[in-house]
Amino acid sequence: MEKTVALGAFDGLHAAHRAVLRGANAVLLFNEHPQKLLQGSAPPQLLADEERDARLRAAGLELLKIPFEEIAEQPPEEFFVKILCERYRVRKLRCGYDYRFGAHAAGSADLLQRLCAAHGVGLSVVPRVMYRGEGVSSSRIRAALGDGRVGEANAMLGRAFGYAFEVVHGERVGRVLGTPTLNQRFPEGFAVPRFGVYASRAFVDGAWRAGLTNIGRRPSFESEELRSETHIPGFAGDLYGKTVPVRLLSYIREERRFKSIEALKRQIKQDLREIIP
């Protein structure tokens, strides 16, 4: 089968990324985000690498992985010939309109088009994917999440934003409140949405179930640990040590300090009405 390779960062698999992937049967991925090597830190992840890879494989794509440091100093022309043509023997390529490649991001989609024409390689350049008058991008999605505009982020992602982290032990405060939660810690470098309470869903016991998720540091309990805490009404199973997917659907309210446990209980009951009418 002819290898049609998608080129790009694919750090969130959002709607624009999927437009580039459409029609490809392979995707070129780096072992780390280029900005980590070039600038010392990468943008917060919208999707863990493991989940990204699993989604790509499930879509039938072959994953071509290469250490970014291997090609970081290659001029664009050398990257095209030695990596794409000689190593992977590509016959067709797909990229976004703003694709950059080669040392110092010197190569553009226009240059790639000229190189492809000279070497008999097909190329499809995907135009900008729009949402509400602006282009879809990972940075725009991160900004929406940071503002609590999770509905907009989900629209640009083409799916509900979420994560799948291990469930860890907490202080069992939820049980005292009558709303036990599954506690998950955000790993370093992962995008953290605006602190607050969200309508959510969690995948437990083989099914997606409605949930109420608090993201933040729980100011009512003098905690400094950043955490995701999800209450699943009617569920009382033991999930400690398991990796549970959680998806955020809508932002309900900001995180705040309550004067008493009773006041917090009343607010939680009100929050639950948002997910269980």
Kindly report the pTM of this predicted structure.
0.90
The reply to whether 107 and 45 lie within a common domain is: yes
Exposed, middle or buried by CB within 10 Å (0-12, 13-18, 19+), for 96? buried
**pLDDT 10s digits, 98-143:** 999 999 899 999 999 999 999 999 999 999 999 999 999 999 999 9
Name the residue range of residue 19's domain: 4-129
Q: How many whole angstroms from its chain centre is CA 5?
A: 21
**pLDDT 10s digits, 228-262:** 999 999 888 889 999 999 999 999 999 887 777 77
Q: What is the DSSP letter of 96?
A: E
- Given a cut of 60, whether residue 172 has pLDDT beyond it is no
CATH number for 15: 3.40.50.620
* Confidence grade of residue 87 (pLDDT, cut at 50, 70, 90): very high
Contact 269, 197 (CB under 8 A): no
SS3 of 9-60: CCCCCCHHHHHHHCCCCEEEEECCCHHHHHHCCCCCECCCHHHHHHHHHHCC
**pLDDT 10s digits, 139-149:** 999 999 999 99
CATH number for 223: 2.40.30.30
The reply to whether 11 and 116 lie within a common domain is: yes
The reply to whether 97 and 36 lie within a common domain is: yes
Encoded tokens for 249: 């659907």
Q: Is 144 a domain residue?
A: no
Write down the H helix ranges in 85-149.
109-119, 138-146
**pLDDT 10s digits, 192-231:** 999 999 999 999 999 999 999 999 986 555 566 899 999 9
The reply to whether 75 and 174 lie within a common domain is: no
DSSP secondary structure of 231-268: E-TT-----TT-EEEEEEEEEEEE----SSHHHHHHHH
Q: Is 101 a domain residue?
A: yes
